[in-house]
Chains A and B, each alone.
Chain A
Amino acid sequence: MRAFANHRFLTLAILAAVIAVLPLVFPSSYYFRVASLVWVSALAAIGLNILMGQAGQVSLGHAAFFGIGAYAVGIGPAHLGIPSWAALLLGAALSAVLAYLVGRPILRLKGHYLAIATLGLGVLVALVISTESGWTGGPDGMPVARLTLFGWRVSGSDTWYWVTGGLLLVGTWIALNLDETPTGRAFRALHDSEVAAQVVGVDIARFKLQAFVIAAVYASLAGSALAFMNGFITPDQAGFLHSVELVTIVVLGGLGSVVGSIVGAAVLVTLPQALTVFHEYEHLLLGLIIIVSMIFMRNGIVPSLSALFFQRARS
């Protein structure tokens, strides 16, 4: 147990060090922006990984909660006169309630049926967002008021770098700790075998629902952060392709690995930025890299590489 605690501490320390040191090598504010995007995607992916990697339930509609968080901080101040910070909390609460309500019937489904049900939920939310243009600005999106905290106006890409970095640290800390709690162990038990988990007294319906709600809140907060950072939101952020991107980050990085989600986000967010130099070959290369890395690192980047590393160390 002690070893695990140290491992956790080490992971957090390394992550904090990376966040602190990176700005020293950034040549321009563009890099701060890309890095902030990585932290935000990583935050959403870590939440989804609790659902997928720890509890073993797939969600192909997770961008819905990301979108709810994003549009909450857009609509709240603009249409309802709610302060931005309160809108952020309201978005998270709304995501949690929605996840709780639909989670019960949806999480009874298994495998591909769960995938299509969550996908349907995601499509529904995205459709409402892009259709109700009076509230959301429709397909063109809407501007988001800057976040003001105690008179401090949070703006600028370097400021948001630190804010999102801090959020990611907290999110990582919670996810790492969760793994060692009775709840985390229950998640893993139902991941390995639902029947076995049920036999030893795990209330599987309750724990699945818990994982779903936690993942929804993570995504919602990440969505709010991105909306504040960009100052603008579009329905794409709640769309199917964004859901697929989140799932790809989780699987590419490594199911069940918190660090994996951060690495996966780093790869999938920076790669398209880096590939823009290849102009029209961008999608071709992105697809190719996803295929090749999944073939050769089928458990995801972090678990595969660490297995390789420890094998070397032992021999």
Chain B
Amino acid sequence: MAEFLQFLISGLTVGAVYALVALGFTLIYNASGVVNFAQGEFVMLGGMVTVFTFAAGVPLPLAALFAIVVSIVVGLLLHRLAIEPARGASAVTLIIITIGASILLRGVAQIVFDKQFHKLPAFTGDAPVDIMGAAVQPQSFWVLGGAGVVVLGLYVFLEHTVLGKAVLATAANRLAARLVGINTTTIMALAFGGSAAIGAVAGILVTPITLTSYDVGTLLALKGFAAAMLGGMGNPLGAVVGGLLLGLLEAFGAGYLSSTYKDAFAFLVILIVLFAAPQGLFGRRVVERV
């Protein structure tokens, strides 16, 4: 039971990070139709900027805030300088642009920071908390709680503010949104900024547990993308469930089956899910008009 609980909590913690990355994917995908492979770099930026600002003597909360602001600026620049000029290009061209952006951001991080692994102190100490025999790092609660706040905040924003509804309208039908007077370019910029902020938060929360370096983004983007697809592309709820599910699959797969094949286990399940439900778990069936 203690073992089960241990795997459950570590799975949920990792899953919460995947969920945040997947949520970032979904936000950008809904507003602009772009699959942003640079999403993982926001997580890297969040962690790395915090580490280096903190090391320079800035208090941790301020350093974290600064990292979020930097990430948002990078997100806005990405939209303005790389995505906006290529408007109307095919989906695969846009994907290659975001891949280029992720290589570029990694290159910049490698110059501005370094190639070492870095750690942040846990927000509230390192003493593990005992929950029915499972030893849980306090930072896990920060990750889970932080992810919960972000998800809730995003939900309130999308459902209960005019701007949020404009985002939903743009996601539903870009042309119709423009016809009713929504500035879809602003909405897209907002999505890129918001998505960058979500990624940065994930990076800051998880760095005390998993460490960070200039190249952590690739694997996270891959897992986030997988989580988003598992839940059904374009569905925020699906992204969160997909992320948590992926984290749990990895934790239990590593714990009970084989730790070397934990990634294999997750992807195997994704393949099986897609064979059974080609639109993901919560995806809508797309009706193709001819």
Stretch binding the partner chain, chosen from A118-126, A164-172, A201-209, A219-227: A118-126
**Nearest 10 CB-CB pairings of A with B:** A287-B104, A283-B107, A290-B100, A284-B107, A287-B103, A120-B267, A291-B100, A116-B229, A298-B89, A127-B264
Interface presence of A7 (CB below 8 A): no
Q: Are B278 and A287 interface neighbours, CB within 8 A?
A: no
Given contact pairs A109-B278, A121-B271, A240 touches B222 in the complex (Cβ within 8 A):
yes
Given contact pairs A110-B278, A117-B271, A240 touches B218 in the complex (Cβ within 8 A):
yes
Stretch binding the partner chain, chosen from B90-98, B157-165, B197-205: B90-98
If over half of A's interface residues share one DSSP class (helix, strand or loop), that class is named, otherwise mixed; here it is helix
Interface presence of B57 (CB below 8 A): no
Q: Are A241 and B218 interface neighbours, CB within 8 A?
A: yes
Q: Which of A109, A127, A244, A291 contacts B97 (CB 8 A)?
A: A291
**Count class of interface residues, chain B:** 35 or more
B238 to chain A, nearest CB (A): 13
Residues in B lying within 8 Å of A, measured CB to CB: 35, 82, 85-86, 89-93, 96-97, 99-108, 110-111, 218, 222, 225-226, 229, 233, 260-261, 263-264, 267-268, 270-271, 274-275, 278-280, 286, 288, 290
Q: In the bound complex, how far is the Cα of B77 from the Cα of A288, in angstroms?
A: 13
Question: In the complex, which residues of chain A have a beta carbon less than 8 angstroms from the beta carbon of B261?
Answer: 127, 131
B217 to chain A, nearest CB (A): 12
B22 to chain A, nearest CB (A): 12
Q: In the bound complex, how far is the Cα of B98 from the Cα of A244, in angstroms?
A: 12
Q: Are A58 and B288 interface neighbours, CB within 8 A?
A: no
Question: In the complex, which residues of chain A have a beta carbon less than 8 angstroms from the beta carbon of B111?
Answer: 280-281, 284
Q: In the bound complex, how far is the Cα of B214 from the Cα of A280, in angstroms?
A: 13
Q: Are B263 and A286 interface neighbours, CB within 8 A?
A: no
- List 8 additional contacts besides A52-B92, A123-B263, A287-B106; criterion CB under 8 Å: A113-B278, A113-B279, A117-B274, A244-B99, A251-B92, A284-B107, A284-B111, A287-B103
How many A residues, CB 8 Å from partner? 48
Q: In the bound complex, how far is the Cα of B229 from the Cα of A223, in angstroms?
A: 30
Tell me the nearest residue of chain A to B25, going by C-beta.
Answer: A112
Q: Are A281 and B264 interface neighbours, CB within 8 A?
A: no
Residues in A lying within 8 Å of B, measured CB to CB: 52, 58, 105-106, 108-113, 115-117, 119-121, 123-124, 127-128, 131, 193, 195-196, 240-241, 244, 247-248, 251-252, 255, 280-291, 294-295, 298-299
Q: Are B274 and A284 interface neighbours, CB within 8 A?
A: no
Question: In the complex, which residues of chain B have a beta carbon less than 8 angstroms from the beta carbon of A196?
Answer: 290
Number of contacts between A and B (CB, 8 Å)?
127
A254 to chain B, nearest CB (A): 11
B162 to chain A, nearest CB (A): 30
Q: Are B278 and A290 interface neighbours, CB within 8 A?
A: no
Q: Are A287 and B35 interface neighbours, CB within 8 A?
A: no
Q: In the bound complex, how far is the Cα of B275 from the Cα of A73, in angstroms?
A: 32
Tell me the nearest residue of chain B to A56, going by C-beta.
Answer: B92
Tell me the nearest residue of chain A to B290, going by C-beta.
Answer: A195
Q: Are A113 and B104 interface neighbours, CB within 8 A?
A: no
Q: Are B96 and A248 interface neighbours, CB within 8 A?
A: yes
Given contact pairs A113-B279, A255-B92, A294-B93, A288 touches B104 in the complex (Cβ within 8 A):
yes
Q: Which of A247, A251, A281, A290 contacts B103 (CB 8 A)?
A: A290
Tell me the nearest residue of chain A to B226, going by C-beta.
Answer: A116
Q: Which of B100, B229, B264 contacts A124 (CB 8 A)?
A: B264
Given contact pairs A116-B226, A116-B270, A251-B92, A291 touches B107 in the complex (Cβ within 8 A):
no
Most buried by A among B35, B85, B271, B290: B271
